[in-house]
Structure 1
Amino acid sequence: MLDEQALVEALNSTPVVDGRPTDRWADDEELRAWVRAHGGDGDDAELAALRDARGRLQEVVAGEAAPGVLADLLAGARQRPEVGDDGVTWRLETAPERRLAVELVLAWSAVAQRHPGRLRPCANPECRLFLLDRSRANSARWCSMKTCGNRLKVRRHHQRHREEPTAP
């Protein structure tokens, strides 16, 4: 099963680089490497399902779409309990080409339940990354303080000083 790290990797696969939006998953080979690292086969149908799931999840996490847009991604998927020596595990049953896409949606659901309100887009409107806030106060705003946070604070500082009237 995909975990929250894989979820954040997927959500953050469309960064802004040198001021231009990019899509790391537009490159089939880069996406295939990610898929294979997470137990997939990397066939074209699997890549298409993952790109679709990622796009919908980005919209949901950004607040641009309701979670209902994910429903048809889960159509026909089931989890079946299996009891073993270590306890109960859940086996996902779905079409092989949709398994990772379904797991991505399930990873989002688990994060939303365990950490409500902590998965969100970066507060920098020019950034397309997401963060999972692990701070005690749930106050993280930027994907990275070093890049987005500092950039916005410097921008606000310069704007305030431009707007302040000069003393006579």
Structure 2
Amino acid sequence: MTVVEDEELLLAVLNSAPLVGGVPTEQLRGSTGRELVEQFGGTGTETEALHLRRTRDALQGMIREEGDAIEGLAAALDNAVLLPEATREGIRWRLDVPPEEQLAARAVLAWSQVLKELPGRLRACANTECNLFLLDHSRPGTARWCSMATCGNRMKVRAHAQRARRS
């Protein structure tokens, strides 16, 4: 898997509990969850979805700096081993982990890589009524919303309305 694919996996896992009508929904259950994990090469089993839900909750806690989420991340890596493979391009690291734990481990490894390569760029949406996350690849690093078309537009409309009321 590539770094970009694992960043996409990380965001898909983080954003798998969106708010719908102000209520968190669960996208890592049933056929929706199976489709999501199969998209990233997962098995689609309930055990795998359980590992992903626990990992998602831990990752969200780490990003939002809530509680002691580190234990959840450590649990996602309990059975994971990185094995070196020599190639003509240098050393490549292969993740060796039980199949039902692979996506959770990859998501945690992607989170760690993002922290190193893009510090401060993985964050929760600035819309407090949103439960999604963004990975800011913009040059200035000032993105605030998961989507400019939805949250960004809503927040700008609210700010404009507040300014208009004050005038």
TM beyond 0.5 = yes
3-state DSSP of counterpart to 2:138 = coil
2:48 paired residue number: 46
Q: CA RMSD in A?
A: 1.8
| Inter-partner Cα distance in structure 1 for 2:85 and 2:41 | 20
Q: Does 1:30 align with 2:62?
A: no
- Correspondent of 2:159 among 153, 156, 160: 156
Gaps of 5+ in 2: none
- Please name the residue that 2:113 is paired with: 110
CA drift of 1:71 comes to 1.6
* Higher deviation after alignment, 151-160 or 97-106: 151-160
The count of corresponding residues between Structure 1 and Structure 2 is 163
Aligned-residue offset at 1:62: 2.0
Q: Kindly state the Cα deviation for residue 54 of structure 1 after the two structures are TM-superposed.
A: 1.1
Stretches (4+) displaced over 4 A: none
Displacement of 1:134 in angstroms is 1.2
Relative distance call for 1:76 and 1:21 in structure 2 (3 A) is closer
Q: Which has the larger radius of gyration?
A: 1
Shift of 1:67: 5.7
The structure 1 residue matched to 2:17, chosen from 2, 14, 17, is 14
Aligned equivalents of 1:78 and 1:134: distance in 2? 29
Unaligned runs of 5+ in 1: none
Identity %: 48
Q: Is the CA contact 1:28–1:47 (under 8 Å) kept in the aligned structure 2?
A: no
